[in-house]
Structure 1
Amino acid sequence: MSSKPVVPFSEPPYLAGLPSPYYKETHLRWQKACRQFISKHLLEHALEWDTIETLPEHVFQTFAKAGMLLPSLPAPLPVEWLKKLGIHDFLGAVKVEEWDYIHTMIYCDEMARSGLAGPSGSLTTGISFGVPPIIKYGSKQLQERYLPELLTGKKRTCIAITEPEAGSDVANIVTTATKSPCGKYYIVNGAKKWITNGIWADYSTMAVRTGGPGPTGLSLLVVPLKGYPGVTTRRLKVGGQVSAGTTYIELEDVKVPVENLVGVEGMGMKYIMTNFNHERLTIAIGATRQARVALAAATEYILKREAFGKPLVEQPVVRHRLAKAGALLESQWAWVEQFVYQMTQLPKETADIELGGLTAMVKAQSGIVLNECAQCAQLLFGGNGYTKSGQGELIERIYREVPGVRIPGGSEDVMLDLGVRQLVKNFKAKTAALEKSGGSRL
């Protein structure tokens, strides 16, 4: 926590001098070390690197050698594997066995302090979403083949779910994986689109159709990418998060050993949905920080910018616009904190059921709030906020990134609908269980 006055909206309340019930000494110690490392190795040049659309390779290597890619994994961490690889703590601030989701939240929040999702996403998206299914569901043999290099950053991976004709509609994925006559290989054919980090990835944890139509026909497969026969990748130009390496992957008769199956054939939909919970929550955390960066920049701007003979902050209409966006921002952050705290208190199986639908909703709401805050900032910056250079450059960039929160990881309307459906499903299940036991609904 800084002793200097904090610009309104620029920091979460716990870093602005206000009390919070969520953060223990281990969290505060981690936040301080985390901010120092990320500021030095990422934030100083984040806008510059995002402008040229690619981070230098040494940035990934610096994070990998320091173990600073691993905090993007879901909590609790794979402690046994990390210790086997000689990884016992992060930056000397927190032991791997002490790690909880509040540490994860702090990491995601700090990584987004540039205001841009691309620079941090270029480093962490692959390991954050591509590795967990191997940890959770992969056989011992599969883990031993891939985890040592993936967890240490010697190799890179990505998660490949989305297809040209199947985005949020995961159940209708059409990429096929058919067993070869000898039974030793899956022959994979199809295409994946909008795959973050795919252009740099050595492997992909990929959703494929091993069975009939619908969700029961889906499986997860570790598919080699870089330089592998039958695999073609090309980078896609997208409106925001441009440095994260969005990729189109084509697969033509790609031979993948059957040992690369993750878990059980036909269980892919369950694995994907569970994996989405972590993805959606981390998107929500990062997007909320992006909204904070935008609103804080707007606050600083209206304090110094003059119009009609006085600073903009003295115009009631300006304060009103800022207040509305600020209320949304702080409400969203309070929900994120509460949500993450609940994850630290519930058993994993319970959290997946009780918080699954809410995860979709908190992710959707983060995009709505980011849109409001980025739009507010752009309007308060005026022409400067619409210019790709100068003092409003970052605001212009953040506003361009809003769809990158509202669409990936499950598009906004689908997420809102999913959230309510899951809540209703849970309510009906609990009601039926209560009636079966002879209890009262009241």
Structure 2
Amino acid sequence: MPVDRLMPTEESADLIALTREICRDHLAPTAGPAEAAGEFPRDTFRLLGEAGLLSLSYPEEFGGGGQPYEVYLQVVEEIASAWMSVAVGVSVHSLTCFPVDRFGTEEQKKRLLPEMLSGRTLGAYCLSEPQAGSDVAGIRTRATRSGDGSAYRVSGGKAWISHAGHADFYTAFVRTGDHPSKGLSCLVIPAGTEGMTFAPPERKMGLACDTVREVLFDGAQVPADRLVGEEGMGMPIALAALDSGRLGIAAAATGLAQSALDVAARYAKEREQFGRPIAQFQGVAFLLADMEAAVTSARASYLHAARLKDAGRPFSKQAAVAKLVCTDAAMKVTTDAVQVLGGYGYTEDFPAERYLREAKVTQIFEGTNQIQRLVISRQLLSD
């Protein structure tokens, strides 16, 4: 159900209206069958790129939309309400563009960003490794510079990588030095690089269209001009990107929760027991009220953090709060939606069971919710 929101400009309102139209006509009818088949929605990403809906918050001079971050996040929420895998993919793609935009040279921006921001190329964000998830300093994938300095030789592996095998470029964090945090660097690696291969796709409980694989490097040769920032800057680049990326997941989780609430409310008004709709029973009505409160609170949380970001103010703690609040809300609301639908909620006849399976991972990726509590408590107690 469309939700009215405060739009900074008429252009922003038009973007939301365009997103809703695309979601209604293209994404929503496709999502269920595609998820059942586990098809990677590359054509959908092309459609969103052609509509100007990918990387909306990036500069217009390089092909972005030049929109406030809060507008971009509301677009992500709308997409998630129709198809969660695609919304996650939009957030991932935006995350992969961030290092070049924020830390790249002017030459790199001019050379790389137009293709990235238009959606003509799709990105994958390669941070986690089998032994290094929340512990970024534990990254072992190593990049060694060639004798003439023209290239890096990359060896190692990245785990849990969305779009792996389908992406056109891979924003990868690699070890170029031995210091745990100051020895990491960022490379933008083109698809088709010799020595880069992929493990079979992970078999997941949800988000079937969000293809996730390990990315394996065996002496992959990466041109030195693909280094973003200086050697040793990888940790601050990764952490800065995650602050923004967490808001993308927060917005997506909110959209997913909204869809679950809509399904539950519609069902409760139609389903009759004891001669009246079950929505008229206080037990169901109050459950729906709590679900509405959770969705509304989640939306307010991510918009507050986004407005801080747009104003140039610190927002790291608020991003962690939003990620925590929104994804916990998604888990609660989707669980309660299944409960409202009863036995039907546990079947594939309604999308509630898919929403529940999709909600769980939002509490895990972009930093588990336990890590969000760590970020929040550290910043709270250091103020």
Report if the CA contact (8 A) 1:50-1:119 is conserved: no
Match of 2:159 among 193, 200, 205: 193
After superposition, the Cα gap between the structure-2 partners of 1:335 and 1:269, relative to the gap in structure 1 and judged at 3 Å, is same
Partner residue, 1:231: 196
**Structure 1 residue 24: Cα displacement:** 4.1
Q: Secondary structure at the match of 2:295?
A: helix
After superposition, the Cα gap between the structure-2 partners of 1:42 and 1:277, relative to the gap in structure 1 and judged at 3 Å, is same
Q: Distance in 2 between matches of 1:403 and 1:197?
A: 19
Q: Distance in 2 between matches of 1:420 and 1:162?
A: 23
**Structure 1 residue 297: Cα displacement:** 0.8
**Structure 1 residue 59: Cα displacement:** 2.7
Partner residue, 1:45: 30
Partner residue, 2:45: 60
Partner residue, 1:402: 359
Q: Distance in 1 between matches of 2:146 and 2:75?
A: 44
Aligned residues: 382
Report if the CA contact (8 A) 1:126-1:156 is conserved: no
What amino acid is the match of 1:398?
Answer: Y
What amino acid is the match of 2:214?
Answer: Y
Q: Distance in 1 between matches of 2:118 and 2:282?
A: 53
How much identity, in percent, do the aligned residues show?
29
Q: Distance in 1 between matches of 2:286 and 2:240?
A: 41
Give CA deviations for 1:200-227 in whole Å, capped at 9, x if unaligned: 01221101011114111111011233x3
Larger C-alpha radius of gyration, 1 or 2?
1
Match of 2:217 among 251, 255, 264: 251
Q: Distance in 1 between matches of 2:270 and 2:121?
A: 47
What amino acid is the match of 1:40?
Answer: D
Report if the CA contact (8 A) 2:80-2:256 is conserved: yes
Q: Secondary structure at the match of 2:209?
A: helix
**Structure 1 residue 323: Cα displacement:** 2.1
Q: Does 1:166 align with 2:132?
A: yes
Q: Distance in 1 between matches of 2:70 and 2:92?
A: 21
* Equivalences for residues 14-413 of structure 1 within 5 A: 14=4, 23-71=8-56, 75=57, 77-82=58-63, 96-97=65-66, 99-114=67-82, 116-122=83-89, 124-225=90-191, 227-234=192-199, 235-344=201-310, 346-347=311-312, 351=313, 354-388=314-348, 390=349, 392=350, 394-413=351-370
After superposition, the Cα gap between the structure-2 partners of 1:62 and 1:328, relative to the gap in structure 1 and judged at 3 Å, is closer
Report if the CA contact (8 A) 1:290-1:398 is conserved: yes
**Structure 1 residue 11: Cα displacement:** 4.2
Unaligned regions of 5+ residues in structure 1, if any?
1-9, 88-95, 428-442
Q: Distance in 1 between matches of 2:113 and 2:308?
A: 29
Give CA deviations for 1:242-261 in whole Å, capped at 9, x if unaligned: 10211211111111122211
Report if the CA contact (8 A) 2:87-2:252 is conserved: no
**Structure 1 residue 199: Cα displacement:** 1.9
Unaligned regions of 5+ residues in structure 2, if any?
none
Q: Distance in 2 between matches of 1:320 and 1:37?
A: 33
Report if the CA contact (8 A) 2:69-2:307 is conserved: yes
Q: Distance in 1 between matches of 2:123 and 2:207?
A: 18
TM-score, length basis structure 2: 0.93
**Structure 1 residue 326: Cα displacement:** 2.1
Over the residues paired in the alignment, what is the CA RMSD in angstroms?
2.0
Q: Secondary structure at the match of 1:163?
A: coil
